[in-house]
Structure 1
């Protein structure tokens, strides 16, 4: 039997491929969730002949993940070998989705890959950061794939305000696609849906803050003000990042590795995670706590008292 493996980090393209498999053939199609049924039932549904066409196309989600998790039991020994050696005309598609390529590569190193001749199609979101030109071309391509109608201003947010992080951009484009249904998105809705601009602009301020550079702090904070982000938003964003940095600090002290920490905090962007982790490693725990507590106190003061908030936030960042 032919066994195909469709895997990767780009869930959207994987689902598109499954739709093509289903719609572009005249064969019976069946999709199975391996986590929801037992081994014997999976085998039965793979092996059963079609009553409506000469073969069946069987798509199974997360079968390899299931086999890997139950590997020590020995229950799955020879399972895929027996399927591959069968003379059935059915075609099997194994679907494996991963949050990161490192998880995918980890699975590919397992014994399960040694004896099976998978026909592999890997669909991944590009990792790391690209040049401005590459990001612009990639966003244009994704815009067509997702049926989006972005304005030049909206497109520039992804190119210039995202730190050129492919995975982050992919997630935000998918959010827009689900919202827009092929229609144009007005600026207010765009700003409410897309979070990368605010979240990533704050990194420049945090970098200036940690390096104790008064000039850069002043320039960066005024850029944030001019882009429409107010004092309370800036305070909350910095506090949110500090909270994550503190969490990473505690988890590192517990001996957790990067993979465990990113999963624990549900951070899928490599650039974002590395940015937080590097800050966590450099800054002493005592200072991180003081910064976080000072920001919370300042936030409360902003909400309960009248004072020159913009000036005092800048002075606070220069003093802690």
Structure 2
């Protein structure tokens, strides 16, 4: 039997491989019929020796060939050998071809018994995965926190897994909220929202558009992106208004109701705008929100026009 596992989502790819190996070892505990090769120690002659050797305990053989599918001549040599020795029809041999990253697999799929591609998760697929992973870790999470995590981390499930473990440990038996995620999860998305707004302040419309679309290309929901944009402008308005009223810097967080870290970052950015500018931007965003809710405009088109016109 030949199994092909490949894809860019290396976290789920590795988890699948781990599942196969664990399942095998639970049934065949001697480990004498298990072999694993990667691009550093791959030797095809040794692979053939293992396949052809007589198993002492009549165990199935599991052979993992890791990240060698793209190696020169591998596909030609392996599949010629597999065809000659009828490995595809041999239920006592399991050969797993494991390849991280993109792979031109249309031809390979016809030569294996089973295949699975692991593409980066986004949208509903990503949020469903987050919910399951939190539950698996013994935690509870509300929908706002799920969306916030999805926005901040995106499809990097290695980081997502670490962040979920951290949040579950922090909240123990209490539900994870959006505020917890904002507090504990550092995000490139945050930086890009800040950067997009900085670009607006500098009248650099090209950069502002690029940064906004960068999130959309990564699968972030456009409605959620818009809500984050509104959220940050609203925070800027709060802080700028307090600053112009002479509120001491140490009191900005308490007066605005923002976390001290968020208040500090927002105050730094507020220096790039006048209060009138922020009020104009905020009014324009509210107009966009009204138009999109009544179906008179799509959020993405309206946001693009907003950046161009501001």
Q: Into which bin does the TM-score normalised by the smaller protein fall?
A: 0.5 to 0.7
Q: Within the alignment, does 1:108 sit opposite 2:110 as a pair? A: no
TM-score by length of 2: 0.54
Partner residue of 1:315?
A: 271
Partner residue of 1:219?
A: 234
- Give the Cα–Cα distance (whole angstroms) in 1 for the partners of residues 117 and 140 of structure 2: 28
Partner residue of 1:159?
A: 147
Partner residue of 1:143?
A: 134
Match of 1:69 among 68, 71, 95: 71
Query: 1:70 Cα shift?
Result: 1.8
- Give the Cα–Cα distance (whole angstroms) in 2 for the partners of residues 76 and 204 of structure 1: 45
Partner residue of 1:86?
A: 85
Contact 1:46 1:92 in 2 (8 A): no
Q: Do the aligned partners of residues 228 and 20 (structure 1) sit closer, same or farther apart at CA in structure 2, a change above 3 Å counting? A: farther
Query: 1:86 Cα shift?
Result: 0.7
Deviations 1:219-255 (A, max 9, x none): 24478961442577x49xxxxxxxxxxxxxxxxxxxx
Query: 1:26 Cα shift?
Result: 7.4
CA root-mean-square deviation: 4.3
Match of 1:41 among 46, 49, 53: 46
Partner residue of 1:291?
A: none
Q: For residue 25 of structure 2, give the secondary structure of its aligned residue in structure 1.
A: helix
Q: Do the aligned partners of residues 62 and 79 (structure 1) sit closer, same or farther apart at CA in structure 2, a change above 3 Å counting? A: same
Contact 2:137 2:165 in 1 (8 A): no
Q: Do the aligned partners of residues 127 and 230 (structure 1) sit closer, same or farther apart at CA in structure 2, a change above 3 Å counting? A: closer
- Give the Cα–Cα distance (whole angstroms) in 2 for the partners of residues 193 and 15 of structure 1: 33
- Give the Cα–Cα distance (whole angstroms) in 2 for the partners of residues 209 and 172 of structure 1: 27
Query: 1:185 Cα shift?
Result: 0.6
Match of 2:198 among 205, 209, 226: 209
Query: 1:53 Cα shift?
Result: 1.2
Structure whose alpha-carbon radius of gyration is higher: 2
- Give the Cα–Cα distance (whole angstroms) in 2 for the partners of residues 178 and 135 of structure 1: 16
Q: Do the aligned partners of residues 22 and 316 (structure 1) sit closer, same or farther apart at CA in structure 2, a change above 3 Å counting? A: same
Query: 1:149 Cα shift?
Result: 2.5
Q: Within the alignment, does 1:229 sit opposite 2:229 as a pair? A: no
Query: 1:25 Cα shift?
Result: 5.4
Q: Do the aligned partners of residues 120 and 18 (structure 1) sit closer, same or farther apart at CA in structure 2, a change above 3 Å counting? A: same
Q: Within the alignment, does 1:56 sit opposite 2:56 as a pair? A: no
Partner residue of 1:175?
A: 162
Partner residue of 1:118?
A: 112
Match of 2:20 among 17, 21, 31: 17
Q: Do the aligned partners of residues 129 and 55 (structure 1) sit closer, same or farther apart at CA in structure 2, a change above 3 Å counting? A: closer
TM-score by length of 1: 0.52
The runs of 5 or more residues in structure 1 that have no matched partner are 236-309
Q: Do the aligned partners of residues 17 and 79 (structure 1) sit closer, same or farther apart at CA in structure 2, a change above 3 Å counting? A: closer
